[in-house]
Amino acid sequence: MSNRRMLWPLLVAIALGGCGPKSDANIYGSLNGQRVVGNEAYVTVSNVWNEMDALPFAEQHCSKYGKIAQYVPSKTFMPTFNCIAKNAR
């Protein structure tokens, strides 16, 4: 009977794990993946350790608009990139 009581929290945690916000990718294998938010002018990537890990997501996002990603230095934990024309660099 005690084994069932020990399994309950684990089953609840697994069931609720799928209730969080949808992530766009999961490069680290964690419970919360990366989230890409932006438009044709900029993109922000959350849940990454550094801007180099975020760059592929930013490049993929900006390429939808025929643009490339340019990192915007900041002191936040979510790297931000401007989507600029390919010939603007």
pLDDT at 37: 97
pLDDT band at residue 75 under the 50/70/90 scheme = confident
Q: Report which of 28, 45, 27 is spatially closest to residue 36, judged by C-alpha positions.
A: 45
| Residue 3 maps to a domain | no
pLDDT at 76: 80
Determine contact, residues 56/48, Cβ cutoff 8 Å: no
Distance CA 1, CA 51 (A): 49
pLDDT digits (tens, 9 = 90+) for 14-26: 555 555 555 678 8
| Residue 52 maps to a domain | yes
Q: Report which of 65, 46, 76 is spatially closest to residue 84, judged by C-alpha positions.
A: 65
| Residue 7 maps to a domain | no
| Residue 26 maps to a domain | yes
pLDDT digits (tens, 9 = 90+) for 19-63: 555 567 889 888 889 999 999 999 999 999 999 999 999 999 999
Domain that holds residue 82: 21-88
Q: Count up the domains in the chain and report the number.
A: 1
